[in-house]
């Protein structure tokens, strides 16, 4: 909380000297030791700490990889192979970095869904939510540019497909595309630009993360009950209570991370990226990494190229507007049983879009699903299902949330966090 008085007392002479000139120790103490934390936080709140670890891992391993990587179209692919074969523990560093991107996105999706379920975007946390959305958008841009750097088949042709989407924007699309590619095609200038931006953006993300944490400490943490802190009885110190819980979750997450790194390091990638880029040979199926398949499916669901781009970016932009789309006065879906079902359907729809995005665009019909013969040809059931999911995705934010917020009758909300904790305790006892 912004009005929480500092309890830090410098003990040694050096601490007193530093505190009077640059109270950085006081800042750390008040932010991560004595910071008042809602006493009812569950393990879904540990993903903030997990994401901090993921960002640190990606920056450290990325810096080391950049020391050995050659951003040249003739040498990039071979430099990655040299890292894997000749650099000491290069295979480990690269696998940690590559799988770390997937772990990063997995954690951020859980973090965002938790915020959506418990209403962490509602007042007074609108700026906190928007900063989180900016981090998410920067992550997408960083991941896309990083995917191009190995200069394999999927890297090169994925860059061609995605960058050419920008050219569909009327009037300004072509000049922006030429500037982004550094010419009229994906080539050496494109690789240079992407390498430079991929190296830079993680530090921009780190800067926005600092603003995100700052905004969190100004507005205070949300909690499963969705009620604000009323008194000291509603809180516990951040350390040891939250730090121990975060530590347990981080260890469990690192165990999952290590399973992918050591036992299935290539399971989340694409085999075609182990073939050096060849502009004359196009892969049979160009797909992004799994964590972008949902938005890729939305792009493919629209037959018009420009409208598909609008829909894809609109799917991200609508998340920014969430604080003003939800009309309910109750934050947590724990007390909104009707909205809770729509939320579950939304999660299933997002997973379904990811699955549809991974299918071949000209795939045969899904067994048990209908296909339709239209005037312009056959619409396969994958496309039909993708469009249905896309419709629900936007309807959830633009129609369902505003309408349910006005019409639903929520359950009684506890008056304080302590009351919610006591009610939960009594419920478990009997």
Please name every residue paired with 276 in a beta bridge, in sequence order, or none if there are none. 152
**Angle, alpha carbons 87-89-95 (nearest 5°):** 105
Please name every residue paired with 57 in a beta bridge, in sequence order, or none if there are none. none
pTM value? 0.94
- pLDDT, tens digit, for every residue of 26-47? 999 999 999 999 999 999 999 9
Domain spans, the chain: 45-225+246-288, 300-326+337-409
Instruction: Give me the pLDDT at residue 425, please.
Output: 77
Can you say how many angstroms the Cα of residue 369 is from the centroid of all Cα atoms in its chain? Answer: 32
CB 34, CB 7: distance < 8 Å? yes
Classify domain 45-225+246-288 at the CATH class level.
mainly alpha
Q: Say how many Å lie between the first and final Cα of the chain, rounded.
A: 35
Instruction: Give me the pLDDT at residue 88, please.
Output: 97
Percent of the chain, pLDDT > 70?
Answer: 95
Radius of gyration of the chain (CA): 24
**371 Rama sector, left if φ>0, alpha if ψ -120 to 50, beta otherwise:** beta
Q: Over 50: is that where the pLDDT of 397 sits?
A: yes
Instruction: Give me the pLDDT at residue 378, please.
Output: 44
Q: Over 60: is that where the pLDDT of 364 sits?
A: no
- pLDDT, tens digit, for every residue of 234-243? 999 999 999 9
- pLDDT, tens digit, for every residue of 283-314? 988 999 999 999 999 999 998 999 999 999 99
């Amino acid at each position: 909380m912004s009005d929480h008085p500092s309890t830090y007392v410098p003990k040694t002479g050096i601490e007193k000297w530093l505190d009077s000139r640059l109270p950085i120790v006081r800042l750390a103490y008040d932010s991560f030791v004595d910071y008042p934390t809602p006493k009812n936080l569950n393990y879904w709140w540990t993903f903030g700490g997990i994401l901090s670890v993921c960002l640190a891992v990606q920056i450290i391993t990325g810096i080391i990889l950049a020391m050995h990587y050659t951003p040249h179209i003739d040498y990039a692919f071979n430099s990655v192979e040299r890292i894997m074969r000749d650099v000491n523990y290069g295979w480990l560093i690269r696998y940690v970095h590559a799988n770390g991107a997937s772990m990063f996105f997995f954690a951020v999706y859980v973090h965002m869904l938790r915020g959506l379920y418990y209403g962490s975007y509602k007042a007074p946390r609108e700026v906190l939510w928007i900063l989180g959305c900016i981090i998410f958008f920067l992550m997408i841009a960083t991941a896309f540019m990083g995917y191009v750097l190995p200069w394999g088949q999927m890297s090169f042709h994925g860059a061609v497909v995605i960058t050419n989407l920008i050219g569909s924007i009327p009037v300004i699309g072509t000049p922006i595309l030429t500037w982004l590619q550094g010419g009229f095609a994906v080539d050496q200038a494109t690789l240079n630009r992407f390498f430079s931006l991929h190296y830079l953006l993680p530090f921009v993300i780190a800067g926005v993360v600092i603003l995100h944490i700052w905004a969190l400490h100004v507005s205070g943490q949300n909690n499963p009950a969705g009620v604000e802190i009323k008194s000291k009885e509603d809180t516990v110190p951040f350390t040891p209570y939250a730090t121990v819980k975060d530590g347990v979750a981080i260890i469990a997450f690192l165990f999952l991370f290590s399973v992918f790194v050591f036992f299935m390091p290539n399971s989340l990638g694409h085999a075609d990226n182990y073939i050096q880029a060849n502009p004359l040979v196009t892969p049979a199926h160009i797909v992004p990494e799994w964590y972008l398949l949902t938005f890729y499916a939305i792009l493919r669901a629209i037959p018009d190229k420009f409208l598909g781009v609008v829909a894809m970016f609109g799917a991200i932009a609508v998340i920014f507007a969430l604080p003003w789309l939800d009309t309910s006065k109750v934050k947590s879906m724990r007390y909104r049983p009707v909205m809770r079902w729509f939320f579950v359907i939304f999660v299933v729809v997002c997973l379904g879009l990811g699955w549809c995005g991974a299918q071949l665009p000209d795939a045969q019909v899904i067994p048990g699903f209908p296909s339709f013969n239209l005037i312009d040809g056959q619409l396969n059931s994958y496309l039909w299902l993708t469009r249905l999911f896309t419709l629900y995705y936007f309807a959830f934010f633009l129609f369902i949330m505003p309408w349910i917020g006005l019409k639903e009758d929520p359950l009684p909300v506890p008056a304080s966090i302590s009351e919610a904790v006591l009610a939960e305790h009594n419920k478990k006892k009997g």
